[in-house]
Amino acid sequence: MHPELLIARFGELWLKGANRSQFTVRLTRNVKGALAAAGVHGAKLRVDEARLFVEPATPDDVPAAFAVLRETPGIANVSACVRVEKRLEALATTAAALARATWTEAPTTWVCRARRIDKAFPQNAPLIERTVAEQVGLAIGDAWKVDLRTPKRTMYVEVLREMACVAAWNEDGIGGLPVGTAGRTLLLLSGGLDSPVAGYLAQKRGCELEAVYFHSPPFIAEASREKVTALARILGTRQGGLALHVVHFTEIQEAIHTSCDPKLTVILYRRFMYRIADALADRRGALALCTGENLGQVASQTLENLSLVDRLAARMTLRPLMAFDKHETVAIAHRIGTYETSILPAEDCCTLFVPRHPAVRAPLSFVEHQESKLDVAGLVERALASTETVRT
Ligand code: ATP
Ligand code: MG
């Protein structure tokens, strides 16, 4: 007995609003794209009864489709279901057989939960639960203990208007909102650990990403650019691809190195990044910037220095990692599959020509005085003109 149909339930928050249909349309599109990227073709998708139904072309595709749904923002939980005739006895028999076939590990705790959406169905949810639980209990044996609070396994029974089903395989999704429902955001993507995680967290709240990477050939090897492209590709799977803008940063870095106080190198690099990103965001219709910045004691990440970059952008900058410790960020990087790529050895332009002790606090007047030695507008203009865009 194999599950044939997946049911994804939405986060409760956005179910009731007026934007609901816009959200479900977007979610369906995102899931279609992610299924294709995962090599699952020919699945049927349908939104009904506040659920997304996904019916893969063959039961063999169920595990891959399940993994896609679990990782798609906007989905609260997923069940792999077997359709059953809308009759109490049939629900109980099928649930019992399914539990035996699916729960093959050492006995642990379980529970049966039922929902009756179709109020015309003669038995109510508590009665369905009791009847199904009794037969499942008999099938799996006494070593399996019912635990109402924190069960390891759940048998879901759903009586919907159009069908009924049982599911022995259920997992939480990542929640959040469908990518694209919050508007476009430009992610400053380096090859490091932090910025891909920041981008993912913004996607999880509905932001559709484009990314900008500042590249400094020949000082920074092509390997760094390839790393960033690989990270962009991973982020892109959640939104059907992603535009990566590669901006050539070499001229700016050399100009700063030649003309400005070395203590300000990092701050000046970052001020140029923000100016360029903001201009790109204008052209691309992005409502916000997003970075992997955090609060720490390095030069780029003190509140003083962050405020020196903040004032250069006409739009807000999302910094989703602001409240996270490093180990929390690392855990997310593992979960979303960016960790292995992020830790590959490669340099970032932020380390180029940087002195041992950069300024962790710098007065704006001093920063502006250093910048007055540069042709800021010309440097920004030429960097923007150098932009190459790749679609991942
Ligand atoms: P990450 O792990 O994301 O590289 P980090 O801890 O190394 O971050 P910084 O080097 O100070 O911290 O960079 C802070 C943020 O600035 C990054 O998270 C990223 O959003 C942006 N950034 C840094 N370097 C680049 C770059 N070369 N191209 C685009 N964005 C960059
Ligand atoms: Mg970095």
For the chain, what are the domain ranges? 5-175, 183-391
CA-nearest residue, atom 11 of ligand 1? 300
Give every strand in the sheet of 288-290, ordered side by side: 317-318, 288-290, 183-188, 207-215, 243-248, 388-391
Give pLDDT, residue 16: 63
The residue to mutate among 186, 188, 235, 352, having the most atoms of ligand 1 within 8 angstroms of its beta carbon, is 188
CA-nearest residue, atom 14 of ligand 1? 293
- Tell me which ligand sits closest to the C-alpha of residue 292: 1
Give pLDDT, residue 249: 97
Q: What is the pLDDT of residues 159-182, one digit of tens each?
A: 999 899 999 999 999 999 999 999
Stretch 381-385: mean pLDDT, rounded?
Answer: 98
- Tell me which ligand sits closest to the C-alpha of residue 248: 1
Which pTM was predicted?
0.90
| Cα angle 312, 266, 208; round to 5 | 50
Q: What is the pLDDT of residues 106-115, one digit of tens each?
A: 999 999 999 9
Say what percent of the chain tops pLDDT 90: 84
CA-nearest residue, atom 23 of ligand 1? 190
Is 196 close to ligand 1, i.e. is its CB under 6 Å away? no
Q: What's the CATH number for 183-391? A: 3.40.50.620
Q: Are 71 and 238 in contact (CB under 8 A)?
A: yes
Give pLDDT, residue 129: 97
Q: Are 43 and 147 in contact (CB under 8 A)?
A: no
Q: Which stretches of the chain are DSSP H helices?
A: 20-37, 62-70, 88-102, 125-140, 194-204, 222-236, 250-259, 265-284, 303-310, 326-336, 339-342, 364-371, 376-385
In which band, very low, low, confident or very high, does the pLDDT at 351 lie, cut at 50, 70 and 90? confident
Give pLDDT, residue 13: 59
Report the separation in Å between the CA atom of 348 and the middle of ligand 2, taken as the mean of its atom positions: 6
Say what percent of the chain tops pLDDT 70: 98
Stretch 141-149: mean pLDDT, rounded?
Answer: 96
Give pLDDT, residue 350: 77
Report the separation in Å between the CA atom of 339 and the middle of ligand 1, taken as the mean of its atom positions: 15
DSSP code per residue over 79-139: EEEEEE-SSHHHHHHHHHHHHHHH--SS--EEEEEEEE--TTSSS-HHHHHHHHHHHHHHH
Is 190 close to ligand 1, i.e. is its CB under 6 Å away? yes
Give pLDDT, residue 357: 85
CA-nearest residue, atom 17 of ligand 1? 292
Give pLDDT, residue 138: 97
Bin 367: left if φ > 0, else alpha if -120 < ψ < 50, else beta: alpha
Backbone angles phi, psi at 324, to 5 degrees: -100, 145
Ligand 1 nearest-atom number relative to CA 301: 11
Is 253 close to ligand 1, i.e. is its CB under 6 Å away? no
Report the separation in Å between the CA atom of 346 and the middle of ligand 2, taken as the mean of its atom positions: 10
Give pLDDT, residue 14: 60
Q: What is the pLDDT of residues 27-80, one digit of tens each?
A: 999 999 999 989 999 999 999 888 999 999 999 999 999 999 999 999 999 999
DSSP 188: E
- Provide the mean pLDDT of the chain: 94
In which band, very low, low, confident or very high, does the pLDDT at 301 lie, cut at 50, 70 and 90? confident
Q: Are 196 and 336 in contact (CB under 8 A)?
A: yes
| Cα angle 90, 94, 100; round to 5 | 155
Candidates 3.50.30.40, 3.30.2130.30, 3.20.20.70, 3.40.30.10; CATH matching 5-175: 3.30.2130.30
Stretch 248-263: mean pLDDT, rounded?
Answer: 96
The residue to mutate among 187, 195, 215, 317, having the most atoms of ligand 1 within 8 angstroms of its beta carbon, is 195
- Tell me which ligand sits closest to the C-alpha of residue 291: 1
The residue to mutate among 185, 188, 189, 190, having the most atoms of ligand 1 within 8 angstroms of its beta carbon, is 190
Which residues, 6+ apart, have CB-to-CB distance to 258 below 8 Å?
Answer: none
CA-nearest residue, atom 21 of ligand 1? 188
Give ion ligand 2 contacts, CB < 5 A.
Answer: 190, 192, 348
- Tell me which ligand sits closest to the C-alpha of residue 317: 1
Is 111 close to ligand 1, i.e. is its CB under 6 Å away? no
| Cα angle 315, 318, 320; round to 5 | 175
Q: Which amino acid is at 144?
A: W
Given a cut of 80, whether residue 385 has pLDDT beyond it is yes
